[in-house]
Structure 1
Amino acid sequence: MPTAPVPPPVLFDARRRAARLARARPERADFLRRRVAEDAVESLEAILRDFPAAVDASALPGPFAEALAGSDAAARVGPVRRVRPSADPGAESMGIESASTDLIVSLLTLHWANDLPGALAQIRRALKPDGLFLAALFGAGTLKELRGVLTEAELEVRGGAQARVSPFADGYDGAGLLQRAGFALPVSDVDRITVRYPDMFALIRDLRAMGETSALAGPVRPLSREIAARAAQLYAERYGQADGRIPATFEIIRLAGWAPHESQPRPLPRGSAKVRLADALGVREINAGPDGTVS
Protein backbone atom coordinates (compact mmCIF):
# COMPACT_ATOMS: atom_id res chain seq x y z
CA MET A 1 0.00 0.00 0.00
CA PRO A 2 1.58 3.33 -1.02
CA THR A 3 2.50 5.69 1.78
CA ALA A 4 0.61 8.99 1.82
CA PRO A 5 2.88 12.00 1.25
CA VAL A 6 3.84 13.84 4.41
CA PRO A 7 2.53 17.43 4.31
CA PRO A 8 5.09 20.20 4.89
CA PRO A 9 5.27 21.60 8.42
CA VAL A 10 3.24 24.73 9.07
CA LEU A 11 5.85 27.30 10.04
CA PHE A 12 3.84 30.45 9.31
CA ASP A 13 0.34 31.61 10.15
CA ALA A 14 -1.25 32.88 6.92
CA ARG A 15 -3.77 35.11 8.73
CA ARG A 16 -1.03 36.64 10.84
CA ARG A 17 1.06 37.20 7.71
CA ALA A 18 -1.91 38.84 5.92
CA ALA A 19 -2.36 41.21 8.87
CA ARG A 20 1.33 42.18 8.71
CA LEU A 21 1.00 42.98 4.99
CA ALA A 22 -2.19 44.97 5.54
CA ARG A 23 -0.42 47.20 8.05
CA ALA A 24 2.78 47.54 6.03
CA ARG A 25 3.94 50.96 4.88
CA PRO A 26 6.53 49.88 2.30
CA GLU A 27 7.18 53.41 1.06
CA ARG A 28 8.80 54.15 4.44
CA ALA A 29 11.40 51.39 4.06
CA ASP A 30 11.55 50.23 0.44
CA PHE A 31 15.34 50.16 0.00
CA LEU A 32 15.57 46.35 -0.09
CA ARG A 33 12.67 45.97 -2.49
CA ARG A 34 14.17 48.59 -4.78
CA ARG A 35 17.51 46.80 -4.70
CA VAL A 36 16.08 43.39 -5.66
CA ALA A 37 13.86 45.00 -8.32
CA GLU A 38 16.87 46.66 -9.91
CA ASP A 39 18.72 43.33 -9.83
CA ALA A 40 15.83 41.59 -11.58
CA VAL A 41 15.65 44.27 -14.28
CA GLU A 42 19.42 44.09 -14.75
CA SER A 43 19.03 40.36 -15.44
CA LEU A 44 16.35 41.08 -18.03
CA GLU A 45 18.58 43.65 -19.72
CA ALA A 46 21.19 40.93 -20.25
CA ILE A 47 18.67 38.51 -21.84
CA LEU A 48 18.01 39.67 -25.40
CA ARG A 49 14.60 38.15 -25.97
CA ASP A 50 10.96 39.20 -25.66
CA PHE A 51 8.59 38.38 -22.80
CA PRO A 52 5.14 39.30 -24.16
CA ALA A 53 3.19 37.91 -21.16
CA ALA A 54 4.71 38.93 -17.83
CA VAL A 55 3.52 38.64 -14.22
CA ASP A 56 4.70 40.32 -11.03
CA ALA A 57 3.83 37.91 -8.20
CA SER A 58 5.44 39.91 -5.40
CA ALA A 59 3.50 40.41 -2.16
CA LEU A 60 3.90 44.18 -2.38
CA PRO A 61 3.86 46.04 -5.73
CA GLY A 62 5.80 49.02 -6.99
CA PRO A 63 9.58 48.79 -7.32
CA PHE A 64 9.72 46.23 -10.14
CA ALA A 65 7.38 48.23 -12.39
CA GLU A 66 9.30 51.41 -11.60
CA ALA A 67 12.71 49.85 -12.29
CA LEU A 68 11.49 48.27 -15.52
CA ALA A 69 9.98 51.53 -16.79
CA GLY A 70 13.41 53.18 -16.78
CA SER A 71 15.19 50.24 -18.39
CA ASP A 72 16.14 49.25 -21.93
CA ALA A 73 14.39 45.94 -21.21
CA ALA A 74 10.98 47.66 -21.01
CA ALA A 75 10.48 47.45 -24.78
CA ARG A 76 10.91 43.65 -24.65
CA VAL A 77 8.62 42.97 -21.71
CA GLY A 78 4.88 43.05 -22.35
CA PRO A 79 2.42 44.72 -19.98
CA VAL A 80 3.20 43.32 -16.53
CA ARG A 81 0.13 41.79 -14.92
CA ARG A 82 -0.03 42.12 -11.16
CA VAL A 83 -0.94 38.89 -9.33
CA ARG A 84 -0.87 39.16 -5.57
CA PRO A 85 -0.08 35.75 -4.07
CA SER A 86 -1.78 34.45 -0.94
CA ALA A 87 -0.23 35.14 2.44
CA ASP A 88 0.98 31.52 2.26
CA PRO A 89 2.53 31.32 -1.24
CA GLY A 90 1.88 27.98 -2.88
CA ALA A 91 -1.02 27.02 -0.63
CA GLU A 92 -3.60 28.44 -3.03
CA SER A 93 -3.82 28.85 -6.78
CA MET A 94 -2.03 31.90 -8.16
CA GLY A 95 -4.84 32.42 -10.63
CA ILE A 96 -2.52 31.96 -13.62
CA GLU A 97 -3.36 29.39 -16.27
CA SER A 98 -0.84 26.65 -16.92
CA ALA A 99 1.77 27.40 -19.58
CA SER A 100 0.38 30.92 -20.15
CA THR A 101 3.21 33.24 -19.08
CA ASP A 102 6.64 34.11 -20.48
CA LEU A 103 8.02 35.77 -17.33
CA ILE A 104 7.18 35.56 -13.62
CA VAL A 105 8.92 37.76 -11.06
CA SER A 106 8.58 37.24 -7.29
CA LEU A 107 10.38 39.68 -5.01
CA LEU A 108 10.77 39.22 -1.23
CA THR A 109 7.72 36.99 -0.97
CA LEU A 110 8.58 33.29 -1.13
CA HIS A 111 10.41 33.16 2.22
CA TRP A 112 6.91 33.09 3.78
CA ALA A 113 5.90 29.87 1.99
CA ASN A 114 5.19 26.87 4.20
CA ASP A 115 5.80 24.68 1.16
CA LEU A 116 8.51 26.42 -0.85
CA PRO A 117 9.09 23.52 -3.30
CA GLY A 118 5.33 23.42 -3.92
CA ALA A 119 5.19 27.18 -4.54
CA LEU A 120 8.06 26.93 -7.02
CA ALA A 121 6.41 24.01 -8.82
CA GLN A 122 3.20 26.03 -9.15
CA ILE A 123 5.15 28.91 -10.70
CA ARG A 124 6.91 26.56 -13.10
CA ARG A 125 3.60 25.15 -14.31
CA ALA A 126 2.34 28.68 -15.03
CA LEU A 127 5.27 29.39 -17.37
CA LYS A 128 5.25 28.67 -21.07
CA PRO A 129 8.03 26.38 -22.30
CA ASP A 130 11.26 28.40 -22.18
CA GLY A 131 9.60 30.93 -19.86
CA LEU A 132 11.74 32.66 -17.24
CA PHE A 133 11.34 32.89 -13.47
CA LEU A 134 13.21 35.51 -11.41
CA ALA A 135 12.95 35.68 -7.62
CA ALA A 136 14.51 37.15 -4.52
CA LEU A 137 13.84 35.92 -0.98
CA PHE A 138 15.45 36.32 2.40
CA GLY A 139 18.08 33.72 3.32
CA ALA A 140 19.35 32.10 6.50
CA GLY A 141 21.72 34.89 7.54
CA THR A 142 18.96 37.51 7.63
CA LEU A 143 18.60 39.32 10.99
CA LYS A 144 21.08 36.97 12.68
CA GLU A 145 22.01 39.68 15.18
CA LEU A 146 18.39 40.38 16.15
CA ARG A 147 17.60 36.67 16.44
CA GLY A 148 20.47 36.15 18.88
CA VAL A 149 19.84 39.07 21.22
CA LEU A 150 16.07 38.48 21.45
CA THR A 151 16.63 34.85 22.39
CA GLU A 152 19.28 35.69 24.98
CA ALA A 153 17.25 38.49 26.54
CA GLU A 154 14.12 36.35 26.83
CA LEU A 155 16.10 33.50 28.38
CA GLU A 156 17.55 35.89 30.96
CA VAL A 157 14.22 37.43 31.95
CA ARG A 158 11.80 34.52 31.58
CA GLY A 159 14.04 31.49 31.81
CA GLY A 160 12.83 30.30 28.41
CA ALA A 161 12.49 31.69 24.90
CA GLN A 162 10.45 31.15 21.77
CA ALA A 163 11.37 31.86 18.17
CA ARG A 164 10.94 35.54 17.27
CA VAL A 165 12.60 35.66 13.85
CA SER A 166 11.53 33.46 10.93
CA PRO A 167 13.62 30.51 9.81
CA PHE A 168 14.88 31.27 6.32
CA ALA A 169 16.10 29.03 3.50
CA ASP A 170 19.80 28.34 3.07
CA GLY A 171 21.20 30.18 0.07
CA TYR A 172 23.17 27.11 -0.99
CA ASP A 173 19.90 25.19 -1.50
CA GLY A 174 18.53 27.58 -4.13
CA ALA A 175 19.55 25.79 -7.32
CA GLY A 176 18.51 22.44 -5.86
CA LEU A 177 15.06 23.79 -5.01
CA LEU A 178 14.63 25.03 -8.57
CA GLN A 179 15.67 21.66 -10.00
CA ARG A 180 13.29 19.85 -7.67
CA ALA A 181 10.45 22.07 -8.93
CA GLY A 182 11.25 21.16 -12.55
CA PHE A 183 13.18 24.25 -13.66
CA ALA A 184 15.95 23.99 -16.22
CA LEU A 185 19.24 25.92 -16.15
CA PRO A 186 18.84 26.94 -12.49
CA VAL A 187 20.97 29.75 -11.09
CA SER A 188 21.20 30.85 -7.46
CA ASP A 189 23.41 33.37 -5.71
CA VAL A 190 23.44 35.26 -2.42
CA ASP A 191 23.64 39.00 -1.78
CA ARG A 192 24.50 40.04 1.79
CA ILE A 193 23.60 43.56 2.82
CA THR A 194 24.43 45.32 6.08
CA VAL A 195 22.12 48.16 7.09
CA ARG A 196 23.08 50.44 9.97
CA TYR A 197 20.54 51.74 12.49
CA PRO A 198 20.69 54.09 15.48
CA ASP A 199 19.25 51.30 17.69
CA MET A 200 17.27 48.05 17.64
CA PHE A 201 13.92 49.85 17.81
CA ALA A 202 14.64 51.72 14.56
CA LEU A 203 15.30 48.34 12.90
CA ILE A 204 12.00 46.96 14.18
CA ARG A 205 10.14 50.02 12.87
CA ASP A 206 11.57 49.34 9.41
CA LEU A 207 10.59 45.66 9.62
CA ARG A 208 7.02 46.67 10.47
CA ALA A 209 6.94 49.10 7.55
CA MET A 210 8.16 46.32 5.24
CA GLY A 211 5.52 43.88 6.55
CA GLU A 212 8.37 41.60 7.63
CA THR A 213 7.78 41.16 11.36
CA SER A 214 7.22 37.63 12.62
CA ALA A 215 4.25 35.59 11.39
CA LEU A 216 5.31 32.31 12.94
CA ALA A 217 2.52 29.83 13.62
CA GLY A 218 1.36 28.97 17.11
CA PRO A 219 0.66 31.01 20.23
CA VAL A 220 2.89 34.02 20.72
CA ARG A 221 3.70 35.46 24.12
CA PRO A 222 4.29 39.19 23.69
CA LEU A 223 7.70 40.56 24.53
CA SER A 224 7.72 42.61 27.73
CA ARG A 225 9.32 46.03 27.90
CA GLU A 226 12.00 44.53 30.13
CA ILE A 227 12.92 41.91 27.51
CA ALA A 228 12.91 44.45 24.67
CA ALA A 229 15.11 46.86 26.65
CA ARG A 230 17.55 44.07 27.54
CA ALA A 231 17.68 42.90 23.90
CA ALA A 232 18.44 46.46 22.75
CA GLN A 233 21.19 46.71 25.38
CA LEU A 234 22.72 43.39 24.25
CA TYR A 235 22.53 44.47 20.62
CA ALA A 236 24.44 47.67 21.36
CA GLU A 237 27.02 45.86 23.50
CA ARG A 238 27.66 43.01 21.04
CA TYR A 239 27.44 44.80 17.73
CA GLY A 240 27.62 48.54 18.41
CA GLN A 241 30.04 50.42 16.17
CA ALA A 242 32.29 53.38 16.93
CA ASP A 243 29.60 55.92 16.05
CA GLY A 244 27.00 54.18 18.24
CA ARG A 245 25.04 52.65 15.37
CA ILE A 246 24.24 48.94 15.07
CA PRO A 247 24.37 46.70 11.98
CA ALA A 248 21.55 44.47 10.72
CA THR A 249 22.31 41.74 8.19
CA PHE A 250 19.94 40.96 5.32
CA GLU A 251 20.86 37.94 3.20
CA ILE A 252 19.02 37.85 -0.13
CA ILE A 253 18.86 34.69 -2.23
CA ARG A 254 18.44 35.45 -5.94
CA LEU A 255 16.99 32.71 -8.12
CA ALA A 256 16.62 32.33 -11.88
CA GLY A 257 15.26 29.33 -13.74
CA TRP A 258 13.62 28.42 -17.04
CA ALA A 259 10.66 26.24 -17.88
CA PRO A 260 12.13 23.32 -19.87
CA HIS A 261 12.23 23.55 -23.67
CA GLU A 262 13.86 21.40 -26.33
CA SER A 263 15.96 24.34 -27.57
CA GLN A 264 17.83 24.67 -24.26
CA PRO A 265 21.39 23.33 -23.94
CA ARG A 266 21.70 19.95 -22.26
CA PRO A 267 24.70 18.07 -20.89
CA LEU A 268 26.12 15.38 -23.19
CA PRO A 269 25.67 11.74 -22.15
CA ARG A 270 28.51 10.21 -20.17
CA GLY A 271 31.17 8.71 -22.42
CA SER A 272 30.21 10.76 -25.48
CA ALA A 273 33.27 13.05 -25.42
CA LYS A 274 35.45 12.81 -28.52
CA VAL A 275 38.54 14.49 -27.01
CA ARG A 276 40.32 13.56 -23.80
CA LEU A 277 40.27 16.36 -21.21
CA ALA A 278 44.06 16.13 -20.77
CA ASP A 279 44.54 16.67 -24.52
CA ALA A 280 42.15 19.62 -24.57
CA LEU A 281 44.01 21.27 -21.70
CA GLY A 282 47.45 20.39 -23.09
CA VAL A 283 48.59 18.60 -19.95
CA ARG A 284 49.96 15.13 -19.22
CA GLU A 285 47.46 12.71 -17.69
CA ILE A 286 48.57 11.14 -14.41
CA ASN A 287 46.95 7.84 -13.39
CA ALA A 288 46.96 6.37 -9.89
CA GLY A 289 46.94 2.62 -9.50
CA PRO A 290 44.89 0.68 -6.94
CA ASP A 291 47.84 0.75 -4.50
CA GLY A 292 48.17 4.53 -4.83
CA THR A 293 51.24 4.49 -7.02
CA VAL A 294 51.32 7.14 -9.77
CA SER A 295 52.27 6.37 -13.36
Structure 2
Amino acid sequence: MSQPPILFDRPALLKRRARAVAQGAALFLHEEAAFEIKERLKDINRSFTKVAVVTGFAAFWSTEFPGATVISDDDILPLEVQSFDLVIHAMCLHQSNDPIGQLVQCQRALEPDGLLLVAMFGGQTMTELRAAISEAEVATMGGLSPRISPMVDIRDAGALLQRSGFALPVADADPRSVSYGSVTSLMHDLRAMGESNVLHARDKRIPPRALFDQMATLYPTQGERVVATFELLYLTGWAPDVSQQKPLRPGSASSRLADALNTVEMGEDARPVKTDESDQS
Protein backbone atom coordinates (compact mmCIF):
# COMPACT_ATOMS: atom_id res chain seq x y z
CA MET A 1 0.00 0.00 0.00
CA SER A 2 1.40 3.40 -0.98
CA GLN A 3 2.07 5.93 1.73
CA PRO A 4 0.03 9.16 1.78
CA PRO A 5 1.89 12.27 0.55
CA ILE A 6 3.64 14.36 3.17
CA LEU A 7 1.74 17.64 3.24
CA PHE A 8 2.78 18.97 6.63
CA ASP A 9 6.10 19.43 8.39
CA ARG A 10 5.19 17.64 11.62
CA PRO A 11 8.23 18.77 13.70
CA ALA A 12 7.55 22.40 12.70
CA LEU A 13 3.87 22.00 13.59
CA LEU A 14 4.69 20.71 17.08
CA LYS A 15 7.17 23.55 17.67
CA ARG A 16 4.65 26.19 16.64
CA ARG A 17 1.94 24.70 18.81
CA ALA A 18 4.33 24.65 21.77
CA ARG A 19 5.28 28.28 21.11
CA ALA A 20 1.62 29.26 20.93
CA VAL A 21 0.90 27.59 24.29
CA ALA A 22 3.97 29.18 25.92
CA GLN A 23 2.89 32.63 24.76
CA GLY A 24 -0.78 32.19 25.68
CA ALA A 25 -2.55 30.38 22.87
CA ALA A 26 -5.54 32.03 21.18
CA LEU A 27 -7.99 29.14 21.42
CA PHE A 28 -11.29 30.99 21.07
CA LEU A 29 -12.26 28.81 18.10
CA HIS A 30 -11.43 25.71 20.14
CA GLU A 31 -13.80 27.12 22.76
CA GLU A 32 -16.50 27.44 20.11
CA ALA A 33 -15.89 23.85 18.96
CA ALA A 34 -15.94 22.45 22.51
CA PHE A 35 -19.22 24.23 23.25
CA GLU A 36 -20.81 22.92 20.05
CA ILE A 37 -19.67 19.35 20.73
CA LYS A 38 -21.16 19.46 24.23
CA GLU A 39 -24.45 20.76 22.83
CA ARG A 40 -24.57 17.93 20.31
CA LEU A 41 -23.90 15.36 23.01
CA LYS A 42 -26.84 16.75 25.00
CA ASP A 43 -29.09 16.00 22.04
CA ILE A 44 -28.06 12.33 21.99
CA ASN A 45 -30.11 10.24 24.38
CA ARG A 46 -27.14 8.32 25.67
CA SER A 47 -24.43 8.51 28.33
CA PHE A 48 -20.80 8.15 27.30
CA THR A 49 -18.44 6.85 29.97
CA LYS A 50 -15.30 5.93 28.02
CA VAL A 51 -14.18 9.03 26.16
CA ALA A 52 -11.01 9.75 24.16
CA VAL A 53 -9.99 13.12 22.73
CA VAL A 54 -7.44 13.47 19.93
CA THR A 55 -6.00 16.99 19.83
CA GLY A 56 -2.96 19.18 19.43
CA PHE A 57 -3.83 21.20 22.56
CA ALA A 58 -4.11 18.66 25.36
CA ALA A 59 -4.35 21.04 28.32
CA PHE A 60 -7.38 22.89 26.95
CA TRP A 61 -9.35 19.79 25.96
CA SER A 62 -8.50 17.99 29.20
CA THR A 63 -10.20 20.85 31.03
CA GLU A 64 -13.23 20.75 28.73
CA PHE A 65 -13.69 16.97 29.10
CA PRO A 66 -12.48 15.95 32.58
CA GLY A 67 -11.77 12.26 32.88
CA ALA A 68 -11.30 11.74 29.16
CA THR A 69 -8.21 10.06 27.72
CA VAL A 70 -6.51 12.92 25.86
CA ILE A 71 -3.83 12.07 23.29
CA SER A 72 -1.80 13.88 20.66
CA ASP A 73 -2.76 13.67 16.99
CA ASP A 74 0.33 11.64 16.06
CA ASP A 75 0.33 9.52 12.91
CA ILE A 76 -0.16 6.42 15.10
CA LEU A 77 -2.78 6.99 17.78
CA PRO A 78 -2.24 5.08 21.05
CA LEU A 79 -5.86 3.89 21.21
CA GLU A 80 -6.69 0.29 22.04
CA VAL A 81 -9.20 -1.49 19.83
CA GLN A 82 -12.86 -1.15 20.94
CA SER A 83 -11.91 0.62 24.16
CA PHE A 84 -14.12 3.74 23.92
CA ASP A 85 -17.76 4.60 23.35
CA LEU A 86 -16.95 8.19 22.27
CA VAL A 87 -13.96 9.59 20.39
CA ILE A 88 -13.62 13.32 19.77
CA HIS A 89 -11.13 14.43 17.10
CA ALA A 90 -10.64 18.03 18.15
CA MET A 91 -9.48 20.75 15.75
CA CYS A 92 -6.50 18.97 14.23
CA LEU A 93 -7.66 16.72 11.38
CA HIS A 94 -7.04 19.55 8.90
CA GLN A 95 -3.30 19.31 9.73
CA SER A 96 -2.99 15.55 9.25
CA ASN A 97 -0.95 13.98 6.45
CA ASP A 98 -3.37 11.03 6.48
CA PRO A 99 -6.88 12.06 7.57
CA ILE A 100 -8.37 8.76 6.41
CA GLY A 101 -5.80 6.90 8.51
CA GLN A 102 -6.68 9.03 11.55
CA LEU A 103 -10.38 8.29 11.15
CA VAL A 104 -9.82 4.57 10.60
CA GLN A 105 -7.84 4.39 13.84
CA CYS A 106 -10.65 6.21 15.65
CA GLN A 107 -13.21 3.79 14.23
CA ARG A 108 -11.20 0.80 15.43
CA ALA A 109 -10.93 2.34 18.89
CA LEU A 110 -14.71 2.55 19.21
CA GLU A 111 -16.97 -0.13 20.57
CA PRO A 112 -19.78 -1.23 18.23
CA ASP A 113 -22.27 1.64 17.98
CA GLY A 114 -19.69 4.02 19.46
CA LEU A 115 -19.71 7.65 18.37
CA LEU A 116 -17.10 9.78 16.62
CA LEU A 117 -17.32 13.58 16.68
CA VAL A 118 -14.87 15.61 14.62
CA ALA A 119 -14.36 19.37 14.76
CA MET A 120 -12.02 20.81 12.14
CA PHE A 121 -11.46 23.76 9.83
CA GLY A 122 -13.18 23.50 6.46
CA GLY A 123 -12.42 24.63 2.94
CA GLN A 124 -13.92 28.11 3.27
CA THR A 125 -11.52 29.03 6.07
CA MET A 126 -9.47 32.19 5.40
CA THR A 127 -10.72 32.61 1.84
CA GLU A 128 -10.00 36.33 2.07
CA LEU A 129 -6.39 35.75 3.12
CA ARG A 130 -5.84 33.09 0.44
CA ALA A 131 -6.95 35.44 -2.31
CA ALA A 132 -5.01 38.46 -1.05
CA ILE A 133 -1.71 36.70 -0.41
CA SER A 134 -1.86 34.83 -3.73
CA GLU A 135 -2.38 38.05 -5.69
CA ALA A 136 0.29 39.83 -3.68
CA GLU A 137 2.84 37.06 -4.21
CA VAL A 138 2.31 37.05 -7.97
CA ALA A 139 2.72 40.84 -8.03
CA THR A 140 5.83 41.04 -5.83
CA MET A 141 7.61 37.73 -6.42
CA GLY A 142 6.41 36.66 -9.86
CA GLY A 143 4.87 33.35 -8.77
CA LEU A 144 3.11 31.34 -6.09
CA SER A 145 4.39 29.10 -3.28
CA PRO A 146 2.40 26.99 -0.79
CA ARG A 147 1.40 29.25 2.11
CA ILE A 148 -2.06 28.20 3.39
CA SER A 149 -3.05 24.62 4.14
CA PRO A 150 -5.48 22.82 1.84
CA MET A 151 -8.66 22.01 3.74
CA VAL A 152 -11.50 19.59 3.05
CA ASP A 153 -14.71 20.91 1.52
CA ILE A 154 -17.96 20.02 3.26
CA ARG A 155 -19.09 18.18 0.10
CA ASP A 156 -16.20 15.74 0.62
CA ALA A 157 -16.33 15.55 4.43
CA GLY A 158 -19.04 12.89 4.60
CA ALA A 159 -17.10 10.77 2.12
CA LEU A 160 -14.13 10.75 4.52
CA LEU A 161 -16.33 9.09 7.14
CA GLN A 162 -17.73 6.56 4.70
CA ARG A 163 -14.28 5.60 3.44
CA SER A 164 -13.18 5.15 7.06
CA GLY A 165 -15.94 2.62 7.75
CA PHE A 166 -18.39 4.76 9.73
CA ALA A 167 -22.13 4.28 9.59
CA LEU A 168 -24.74 7.05 9.48
CA PRO A 169 -22.23 9.78 8.51
CA VAL A 170 -23.25 13.43 8.84
CA ALA A 171 -21.28 16.59 8.02
CA ASP A 172 -22.30 20.19 8.57
CA ALA A 173 -20.59 23.58 8.54
CA ASP A 174 -20.61 26.55 10.90
CA PRO A 175 -18.85 29.57 9.33
CA ARG A 176 -17.66 32.27 11.72
CA SER A 177 -16.47 35.79 10.86
CA VAL A 178 -13.78 37.31 13.07
CA SER A 179 -13.01 41.03 12.88
CA TYR A 180 -9.48 42.43 13.23
CA GLY A 181 -8.04 45.88 13.34
CA SER A 182 -5.50 45.04 10.64
CA VAL A 183 -4.08 42.20 8.58
CA THR A 184 -1.07 42.24 10.89
CA SER A 185 -3.35 41.48 13.86
CA LEU A 186 -4.83 38.57 11.92
CA MET A 187 -1.38 37.13 11.17
CA HIS A 188 -0.40 37.44 14.85
CA ASP A 189 -3.59 35.62 15.84
CA LEU A 190 -2.88 32.77 13.41
CA ARG A 191 0.51 32.26 15.06
CA ALA A 192 -1.14 32.34 18.49
CA MET A 193 -3.56 29.65 17.28
CA GLY A 194 -0.69 27.43 16.14
CA GLU A 195 -2.09 27.74 12.60
CA SER A 196 0.80 29.41 10.76
CA ASN A 197 2.29 27.85 7.63
CA VAL A 198 3.81 24.39 8.24
CA LEU A 199 3.34 22.97 4.76
CA HIS A 200 6.14 20.57 3.90
CA ALA A 201 6.66 22.23 0.51
CA ARG A 202 6.61 25.80 1.85
CA ASP A 203 9.31 28.32 0.97
CA LYS A 204 11.38 28.38 4.14
CA ARG A 205 13.06 31.69 3.32
CA ILE A 206 11.91 34.78 5.19
CA PRO A 207 9.42 36.48 2.85
CA PRO A 208 10.11 40.10 1.87
CA ARG A 209 8.23 42.81 3.73
CA ALA A 210 6.87 44.03 0.41
CA LEU A 211 4.79 40.85 0.14
CA PHE A 212 2.84 41.60 3.32
CA ASP A 213 2.57 45.31 2.54
CA GLN A 214 1.03 44.43 -0.81
CA MET A 215 -1.23 41.83 0.77
CA ALA A 216 -2.54 44.40 3.26
CA THR A 217 -3.57 46.69 0.41
CA LEU A 218 -5.40 43.86 -1.37
CA TYR A 219 -7.19 42.40 1.65
CA PRO A 220 -10.90 43.39 1.61
CA THR A 221 -11.95 45.76 4.38
CA GLN A 222 -15.16 46.57 6.20
CA GLY A 223 -14.84 50.15 7.23
CA GLU A 224 -11.52 50.39 9.04
CA ARG A 225 -11.38 46.70 9.92
CA VAL A 226 -10.70 43.40 8.14
CA VAL A 227 -12.76 40.25 8.53
CA ALA A 228 -11.49 36.66 8.36
CA THR A 229 -13.78 33.70 7.73
CA PHE A 230 -13.22 30.52 9.73
CA GLU A 231 -15.40 27.59 8.67
CA LEU A 232 -15.83 24.99 11.39
CA LEU A 233 -16.83 21.57 10.10
CA TYR A 234 -18.47 19.01 12.37
CA LEU A 235 -18.45 15.36 11.33
CA THR A 236 -20.50 12.67 13.07
CA GLY A 237 -20.22 8.94 12.49
CA TRP A 238 -21.01 5.72 14.33
CA ALA A 239 -19.01 2.52 14.56
CA PRO A 240 -21.08 -0.11 12.69
CA ASP A 241 -23.43 -2.28 14.72
CA VAL A 242 -26.28 -4.64 13.84
CA SER A 243 -28.70 -2.59 15.96
CA GLN A 244 -28.39 0.49 13.75
CA GLN A 245 -31.05 1.62 11.31
CA LYS A 246 -30.49 0.58 7.71
CA PRO A 247 -32.15 1.81 4.50
CA LEU A 248 -34.94 -0.37 3.13
CA ARG A 249 -34.36 -2.48 0.04
CA PRO A 250 -35.62 -0.65 -3.09
CA GLY A 251 -39.12 -1.88 -4.00
CA SER A 252 -39.85 -3.28 -0.54
CA ALA A 253 -42.48 -0.66 0.43
CA SER A 254 -45.88 -2.14 1.36
CA SER A 255 -47.95 1.01 0.68
CA ARG A 256 -47.94 3.94 -1.72
CA LEU A 257 -46.77 7.42 -0.70
CA ALA A 258 -49.76 8.92 -2.51
CA ASP A 259 -52.11 6.99 -0.21
CA ALA A 260 -50.30 8.20 2.90
CA LEU A 261 -50.55 11.81 1.68
CA ASN A 262 -54.19 11.38 0.57
CA THR A 263 -53.41 12.66 -2.91
CA VAL A 264 -53.42 11.41 -6.51
CA GLU A 265 -50.24 9.83 -7.84
CA MET A 266 -48.92 11.56 -10.95
CA GLY A 267 -47.23 9.81 -13.88
CA GLU A 268 -44.10 10.98 -15.68
CA ASP A 269 -46.23 13.01 -18.13
CA ALA A 270 -47.84 14.86 -15.18
CA ARG A 271 -51.20 13.08 -15.67
CA PRO A 272 -52.89 11.16 -12.84
CA VAL A 273 -52.03 7.46 -12.78
CA LYS A 274 -55.07 5.22 -13.24
CA THR A 275 -55.99 3.10 -10.25
CA ASP A 276 -58.38 0.21 -9.66
CA GLU A 277 -62.01 1.02 -8.90
CA SER A 278 -61.47 -0.34 -5.42
CA ASP A 279 -58.89 2.40 -4.78
CA GLN A 280 -61.30 5.24 -5.66
CA SER A 281 -63.51 5.38 -2.65
* Structure 2 residues not aligned, in runs of 5+: 273-281
2: distance between equivalents of 1:59 and 1:164? 21
* 1:250 and 2:230 are equivalent in the alignment: yes
The one of 4, 9, 16 aligned to 2:5 = 9
More moved, 213-222 vs 38-47: 213-222
Aligned equivalent of 1:75: none
Aligned equivalent of 2:209: 225
Q: How does 1:139-288 map to 2 (within 5 A)?
A: 139-220=122-203, 221-235=205-219, 239-242=220-223, 244-288=224-268
Shift of 1:159: 0.9
Aligned equivalent of 1:98: 81
The one of 68, 76, 80 aligned to 1:80 = 68
Deviation track 1:163-202 (CA, whole Å, cap 9, x = no partner) reads 2111100012122211111111111100100000011111
* Structure 1 residues not aligned, in runs of 5+: 70-78, 87-91
Deviation track 1:96-125 (CA, whole Å, cap 9, x = no partner) reads 111111111111100011221121111101
For the structure 1 residues 135 and 196, does the alpha-carbon distance in structure 2 shift closer, same or farther, using more than 3 Å as the test? same
- The one-letter code of the counterpart of 2:199 is L
Shift of 1:293: 7.6
* 1:112 and 2:88 are equivalent in the alignment: no
Aligned equivalent of 1:74: none
1: distance between equivalents of 2:13 and 2:65? 28
Q: What is the TM-score when the length of structure 2 is the normalising length?
A: 0.90
2: distance between equivalents of 1:65 and 1:20? 20
2: distance between equivalents of 1:269 and 1:161? 51
2: distance between equivalents of 1:41 and 1:23? 28
Aligned equivalent of 1:30: 27
Q: Is the 8 A contact 2:145 2:202 kept in 1?
A: no
Q: Is the 8 A contact 1:100 1:128 kept in 2?
A: yes
Shift of 1:28: 4.1
1: distance between equivalents of 2:171 and 2:31? 19
Q: Is the 8 A contact 1:111 1:138 kept in 2?
A: yes
CA RMSD of aligned residues (A): 1.7
Aligned equivalent of 1:54: 51
